[in-house]
Amino acid sequence: MQSGDAMTVKQIFNEMSYGPAPESAAEAMDWITTHAPFGHWINGQFTAPGDVFDSKNPANGKVLAQVTQGSAADVDSAVKAARRAQPKWAKLPGHKRAQYLYALARLVQKHSRLLAVTETLDNGKPIREARDIDIPLVARHFYYHAGLAQLLASEQPDMQPLGVCGAVIPWNFPLLMLAWKVAPALAAGNTVVLKPAEYTPLTALLFAHISREAGLPRGVLNVVTGDGATGAALVDHPDVNKIAFTGSTEVGRKIRQATAGSGKALTLELGGKSPYIVFDDADLDSAVEGLVDAIWFNGGQVCCAGSRLLVQEGVADRFHAKLRARMDGLRIGDPMDKCIDVGAIVDPVQRAQIAAMVEASDGDKYQVPCPDGCFYPPTLITGLGSASPLMQEEIFGPVLVSMTFRTPVEAVELANNSRYGLAASVWTENVNLALDLAPKVKAGVVWINGSNMFDAAAGFGGLRESGFGREGGWEGLLAYLRPKGDAKPLKPVARAAEPANAEVSEFDRTAKLHIGGKQARTDGGYSQAVWSPRGKLLGHVGLGNRKDIRNAVEAAQSAKVWGKTTAHLRAQILYYIAENLSARAEEFAGRLKDMTGKPGAAEVEASIARLFTYAAWADKFDGAVKSVPIRGVALAMNEPCGVIGAICPDEAPLLGLISLMAPAIAMGNTCVLVPSQAYPLAATDLYQVLDTSDLPGGVVNIVTGAHGDLAKPLASHMDVDAVWCFGAANLSAVVEREAAGNLKRTWVNHGRVTDWDHAEGRAFLRAATEVKTIWVPYGE
C-alpha cells in the first residue's frame, strides 16, 4: 500500500511524526474563480471590475484573484447607495433589523468553512485560527448585535443612528474586523461602506455576497476594495457621518487629522505594545502556554498581542528556559495544514519590516527554524531594557521581547512606560495582587491569567496611542448612535466692548489663574479688562498662554491621586462646593448679570443643582459584569480618563463650566478648564468656592484667556488624556486636529448649540470615563 518514497506505517510508528493534514482549498477556490476578477459590492451587487490589483496567498505567493482598485467615484457611488438605503433601514423596527442580523449570524455559521478557508488563503493565518477562533467570533458578534438591535429602542430611547458609517479595516482579522464594524453599525440603524485591507479583500466580498442570502436590503452594506487611497477617499467623503478605523497608529493619526472639524464621529483601534506580566507565584507552564496565544497567535500580527514580556527577576531564567522549550515545539508552515501553529506573514513587505527591526535590535535572540518564503520564525529577545527600541516599538510579528522586574510597583511602572495602552496580561495565583494590578495598568483590556480573550459582550479598545472607543457591548454600540434631535449652529458670543466712557469702581479686583490650588500670575504678564454691556469695568482677567497651560497640566497630573479617592469622598466634596456656591448665590447671580446683562439667578440655581447631580452620580455610575462565554467574569470598570482639558462655553459662563467640571471630577479625573472667554469672571469667582470646599489643590485648574490661543496647547499636550471643547465653532477643528499628537479622546460641539439647562447625565459620565474590561477566569 505504500508507494514512491513515502514513509511506511512502520517508519511513522517508529518516528511518530505528524505528517501532512491539508485542508482542501477546492470550494473556496471555486467561489473565487467563479466571481473573479472582482468589482466592488455596491447596492446589493458586484460592479464591473475596474483597474485591478492582485490579491495573493502569502503562503505561496500565488495570485488568488484580481480585485478592483476603488476610485473616489467608486467610493462616492457606494456612499450614495448607503445614503439612499439609510432612512428606510433606520426606520425598520429593531426587531426587523435583529432578524437580518440573526440571519447573517446563521449564514456565517452555515458557510463557516468556506469563510475560514478563504480567510486563510488570503491572509496566511493557520486554518485552525480562522476556523476555531475568527469565524466563531464573527458569528457570535452578529448574534450579539441582533440582540442589541432588538433591545435598542427600549434601552436607548433617546438615541438615533449616525447615518452612513465608513469602516476601514486591517488585514490581520479581515472578516472579524468587518463584523466588529458592520454588526454594531447595522444594529444601530446605520448603513455601511466598508473598505477592506488591500492585502485581504476576499472575505469581505464573500460576506457581502452571502448577505444576499439574508435578504439584506440593497445599499445597507457596501464594500469598496482598494489601497490606502481608497480608504482616504472614504475618510474624506463629505457625506459620511462616522469613520471606524482599525489599523496602525500612524494611519489612525492621519485619519484623526483628516476628519478634524468635519463633524464626523470617529473611533480608532490602533497599535499596541501590550505588557504580559508574569509574577513568581504564577503557574509558569500555563503562563508560557498563554504566551503562545498572546504573541504567536496570528503570527503576532495582532494589535493587542502580548508582545512585551515582563517577568519577575527570580523566575526569569527558568521562565525563559521553559519558553524556549515551548517555542521548539511550535510548528511553522503551510497555514492550510490543520496541524500548524504559526502560518505565513501577510506580505513580504511586512516580513522584511519585522526582519529589519529584529536585525537592528540588541539583546539575546532565540529563534526556531522556519520554512523559506513569507514566514518569520517565532523569536524571543531577552536581556533588553526599557530603553531598547523594541521594548517600545510595535513589531507586529511573532517577536517577543522580554525584561525583568522586581516588585509589583515596578511591574506597573514598566507596563505603563509606553505610548500605547491597549491590553495587558497579568499572571499570578494571588488574587489580591491580580485585582490590585488590573486597575493600575494603563490598558483598555486586562486579562488575568490569560490572553487574547474576546467576546461581543465585552468592550474592546484602547487608551493613549492605541486609540479611543470601544467595540462590543452597549459601550460599543453607543459609538454608532447620537442623541435624538438636531442642534442649531452656535452663534458667536462677543465680550462687551471697551466703552467710550468707562465706569470704574473704587476697589481693584484682580483675578489670577487657579493652578494647583493656588492663585497664580500668568506667565505672559498680560491682562484683559472685562466690561459690562453698560460700560462698567468689572475687573481684569489674566491672559493665559501655553506655559500656563503647561503649569496647569502639571498641577493636574500631580493631583491624580484624586482618582484613587473614594467616590463617597468625591460626592461629599461636590455637595460641599454646591453648598458654598449656594451661600454666595446672590453674588454670583449679580456677577452673571453684570457680565451678560441678563438675570443670573436661574443659572446659579441650575449650577447648584448640577453639582448635586454629579455628587449623586459619583458613587452610582456603576460598571458591569459581562456575560462572556467563559467560566469567570469580565468586569467592565469605569475608570477616570486621567487629566481632562476643557474649553468651556460662552453661552452659559457658570453653568457651562460646572457642567463640564462636575462630571469630570465626580468620576475621579483632574482637569484644566479654560472658562468662557467673553464672561470669565464667574469662573474666577469660583476659585474661592473651590478653595473653601476641601477640593484638593490641582484637581481643578482654571486658566483664563483667549480660547484661540489656549485650545492648541491644551489639545496638543501629550500629558492630557482627553480634551473637550464647547467653545466657539471654529475651535472644534483645532482641538480635533491637535489631539492627533497623542491620539487623546476628544469631545467637541462641532459648532452646535448645547442646551446647558439639560446638559447632564450619562453622556457626560461616559465622556469622563474609560471602560476597562478585566477578564477574570476562575476555577480551582
> Which CB atom, from 15 or from 30, has the smaller least distance to another protein?
15
> Which CB atom, from 329 or from 485, has the smaller least distance to another protein?
329
Residue 778 is a binding residue for another protein (CB under 8 A):
yes
Mutual orientation of helices 174-187 and 135-155 as an angle, nearest 10°?
A: 10
For residue 631, the minimal CB distance to another protein (Å) is 7
Among 328, 413, 586, 755, binds another protein (CB under 8 A): 328
> Which CB atom, from 113 or from 750, has the smaller least distance to another protein?
113
> Which CB atom, from 2 or from 510, has the smaller least distance to another protein?
2
Strand partners, 398: none
For residue 131, the minimal CB distance to another protein (Å) is 8
Residue 189 is a binding residue for another protein (CB under 8 A):
no
Strand partners, 364: 382
Phi, psi of 734 (to 5 degrees): -60, -50
> Which CB atom, from 325 or from 352, has the smaller least distance to another protein?
325
Task: Look at the block and give the residue holding cell 511553522.
Answer: 332
Stretch that binds another protein, among 137-145, 319-327, 408-416, 477-485 (CB under 8 A): 319-327
Stretch that binds another protein, among 174-182, 185-193, 230-238, 337-345 (CB under 8 A): 337-345
**Strand-pair category, 510-511 with 536-542:** parallel
Residue 26 is a binding residue for another protein (CB under 8 A):
no
> Which CB atom, from 345 or from 434, has the smaller least distance to another protein?
434
Among 84, 218, 324, 518, binds another protein (CB under 8 A): 324
What residue ranges in 406-517 does DSSP mark as E strands? 420-421, 423-427, 445-448, 463-464, 467-468, 481-483, 503-504, 510-511, 513-515
Residue 313 is a binding residue for another protein (CB under 8 A):
no
Distances, alpha carbon 690 to alpha carbons 321, 641, 660, 675, in Å: 57, 22, 15, 15
CA distance 162 to 415: 37
Side chain identity at residue 282, one-letter code: A
CA distance 573 to 563: 13
CA distance 252 to 233: 15
Interface residues for another protein in 339-398 (CB under 8 A)? 339, 341
Binding-site size for another protein (CB under 8 A) equals 48
Answer yes or no: are the C-beta atoms of 301 and 346 closer than 8 Å.
Answer: yes
> Which CB atom, from 1 or from 48, has the smaller least distance to another protein?
1
Among 282, 380, 666, 740, binds another protein (CB under 8 A): 282
Active-site residues, by number, are: 269, 303
> Which CB atom, from 112 or from 257, has the smaller least distance to another protein?
112
For residue 134, the minimal CB distance to another protein (Å) is 13
CA distance 15 to 353: 37
Interface pattern 590-629 for another protein (x via CB under 8 A): ----------------------------------------
C-alpha cell at 650: 460662552
Stretch that binds another protein, among 335-343, 495-503, 595-603, 763-771 (CB under 8 A): 335-343
**Strand-pair category, 306-312 with 399-405:** parallel
CA distance 251 to 228: 9
From the list 358, 48, 67, 85, the residue with the least C-alpha distance to 230 is 67
CA distance 135 to 110: 11
Answer yes or no: are the C-beta atoms of 244 and 267 closer than 8 Å.
Answer: yes
From the list 602, 23, 112, the residue with the least C-alpha distance to 337 is 23
Interface pattern 3-22 for another protein (x via CB under 8 A): ---xxxxxxxxxxxxxxxx-
Interface residues for another protein in 646-675 (CB under 8 A)? none
For residue 779, the minimal CB distance to another protein (Å) is 5
Stretch that binds another protein, among 56-64, 98-106, 322-330, 634-642 (CB under 8 A): 322-330
CA distance 759 to 487: 12
Interface residues for another protein in 408-437 (CB under 8 A)? 429
Binding residues vs another protein (CB under 8 A): 1-2, 6-21, 128, 131-132, 281-287, 289-290, 321, 324-325, 328-329, 338-339, 341, 429, 449-450, 630-632, 777-780
